[in-house]
Amino acid sequence: FPDDARLWVYPLSRPLSAAEHARVTERLDSFLVEWNSHGAPVHGAYEVFEDRFVLIAGAVDDGVSGCSTDSMVRVLKTLREEGIDGFDRTLVFFRDAAARVQAVSRADFQVLVNAGQVDANTPVFDGTIQFLGDMRRGGFETTFGRSWHWNAFSAPRPAR
């Protein structure tokens, strides 16, 4: 895949069970076989990352159209109806001290920042990236201090 391949990040509100992981894999395998954009096949791939994120990449010479994106969203909405929700954008994802991926509300994340439990070096996940190259350059999992999160949450700033 080229760096300009589109990337969609679906953060999961909770970790997948083994059965749910299998269901996501089955649905996405079936979808990718038939994924096309204006009659041209979309070269697509996905990864279920740490049972907390569904990452889907797609590339086609003329770009991935809105209709082909809609078809992918329909698959994810079907999974949401079955209890696998990748559409909750109100959660903040980060790694805790034991390196486990955690998801908390924005308010709870702010509390963690204020308490010093999240600092500039805490790994966070940016579900807003849109291209595979962004992921390759470390834009998906980065540190709190290098992410948009740093400006969005009132982090105690080190004295100069």
Is the pLDDT at 160 greater than 60, yes or no?
Answer: no
> What's the pLDDT band for 60 if we cut at 50, 70, 90?
low
For the whole model, what pTM was predicted?
0.88
- Helix, strand or coil for residue 116? coil
Q: What is the 3-state secondary structure (H, E, C) of 31-63?
A: HHHHCEECCEECEEEEEEECCCEEEEEEECCCC
Is the pLDDT at 48 greater than 90, yes or no?
Answer: yes
Q: Measured between alpha carbons, how far is 12 from 87 in angstroms, rounded to an integer?
A: 7
pLDDT in tens, 66-87: 777 888 899 999 999 999 999 9
Q: Work out the average pLDDT over 95-122.
A: 95
Q: What is the pLDDT, as a whole number, of residue 82?
A: 95
Is the pLDDT at 159 greater than 70, yes or no?
Answer: no
